[in-house]
Structure 1
């Protein structure tokens, strides 16, 4: 079986850390990482600490990070996926694999593939199909493209759960994007419906009614989980949903649901509240309090000014 002796990450956030935690003692002997946060003085210290804690070789530029790596994992935010691929294409060497794990539209993935493959790299469209916790490196992945067959043994050697999807680059990401309409949309619907219910003091009745209609869903628990996800990852989810909206638009369909989901994900993510539990009532109250505080500031009267 093919082995990965040198591996690089572009973007070093939750997903990269989760993969590393899952690999544990089976990790490749040399792992390098570059995250653009190291270019920002206010964020650099925390990111360098991340590298130390995860026992990887942190780099201050992308070229240094991917140099000589057999496999490059791109794990940036959706809005940075093209920029990451364009930067990597300037330095990638023939035969290096570029695993584009970012949640972006099929067209973006196809543009990224052109850049990487033209430079001699081996581009693979990778769709991460569930949160990286708790499954870590065993999180289900879909992979496709002309280099997917060659890449599969590399994923296997890392103990990863990758499934080949037949078709050109963009097929795996299409599955991810279209599925997100439902997954992230349910989160947004939870926020709009149950925050309104909580504010109107009818949330127990609404939840009871939903439980009667969908008895196996466990609405109270799922509501808390959905709000917690948005609070922690709303900004990143909003970036993904913009790509989802673009995907739907490119299919010639109405993307109003994806756009509305983007708005809710962004609004809750921007609040930057700590989610210390997954209890619906606690999280809903925290969100409503913060939203009302922001509305009060926005609605504050402007000091009277003399008209000359």
Structure 2
């Protein structure tokens, strides 16, 4: 594999892919936060001081910024792309946001692909499931597999289809986390935590609910800010489909509150 790769945004996902991939000598990275540079050095990618340097001659771009910056990044960097370069938008945003980003990339001569990442990047790494949609999804699929991604699947030619699957799925995944947090808070306040969890274990013995709750709350404490931004995009997705996102709005509040809380993580073992 000898194609040039650019990583735009170097958070958890980009670092995981950079370490797990076998193309580090061909990858350049840029992040607007200069504090991310040590992580780039540690991962072994080429550190770029500005986006233009990272994107120079890049054939495949993985956009891995925060949800609230996905569209801004596409608009800002579209003019810097090589003609025909594939922009893989791997950010968790609403289909409407991805369609707006696609317009910016395609108008500048790039090729936009909607990519949905369907599992945590740790410990999955290059085994993480990816869904692709958009006119250039076939070429993107080939390129991503060539880079070492093992589970890549095309779901259609329309930008927004992959992200629809991701955003609607997240209603359940992140919603269950939020419900868990709310349940434990109420159980603790009432002094009936053990009884509540024991009752759930008897109803569904497939996994101890204490373990489930510990995992869900840890994820919220650690990633709640990013998850809240993602769920705001799920709110947009549902609203655009004519579905009132009553529960999902609550998930936004719970996820953000968990991240912002200064309390010690609850001991629910």
Pairwise same-fold verdict (TM > 0.5): yes
Asked if residue 135 in structure 1 is aligned to residue 135 in structure 2, the reply is no
Residues 250, 57 of structure 1: CA spacing in aligned structure 2 closer, same or farther, 3 A cutoff? Answer: same
Task: Confirm or deny that 1:178 pairs with 2:168.
Answer: yes
CA distance in 2, matches of 1:176, 1:219: 25
Aligned residues: 268
Structural mapping, 1:1-40, within 5 Å: 3-23=1-21, 26-38=22-34
2: distance between equivalents of 1:82 and 1:246? 14
TM-score, with normalisation over the residues of structure 1? 0.83
- Alignment-derived partner of residue 101 in structure 1: 90
Q: 2:238 aligns with which of 237, 241, 248?
A: 248
1:85-144 deviation line (CA, Å, top 9, x unaligned): 001112112111100000000001111111101111111100000111111111000001
How far apart are 1:218 and its partner, in Å?
2.4
Distance in 2, Cα, partners of 1:183 & 1:123: 27
Q: 1:125 to 1:274 in 2, by over 3 A?
A: farther
- The Cα offsets for residues 41-73 of structure 1, whole Å up to 9 and x where unpaired, read as xxx3xx221121111122222111111111110
Residues 6 and 29, structure 1, Cα contact 8 Å, conserved in 2 = no
Q: Is the 8 A contact 1:127 1:141 kept in 2?
A: yes
The TM-score with structure 2 as length reference comes to: 0.95
Q: How far does residue 272 in structure 1 lie from its aligned partner after superposition? A: 6.4
Give the gaps of 5 or more residues in structure 2.
none
* Residue of structure 1 equivalent to 2:144: 155
Could you tell me which residue of structure 1 aligns to residue 268 of structure 2? 281
Q: Take 2:203 and 2:181, find their aligned partners in 1: how far apart are those partners?
A: 19
3-state SS in 1 of match to 2:156: coil
Aligned equivalent of 2:193: 203
Gaps of 5+ in 1: 39-43, 283-308
Instruction: Choose 1 or 2 for highest CA Rg.
Output: 1
| Equivalent in the alignment of 2:248 | 258
Following superposition, the deviation at residue 4 of structure 1 comes to 4.3
CA distance in 2, matches of 1:85, 1:100: 8
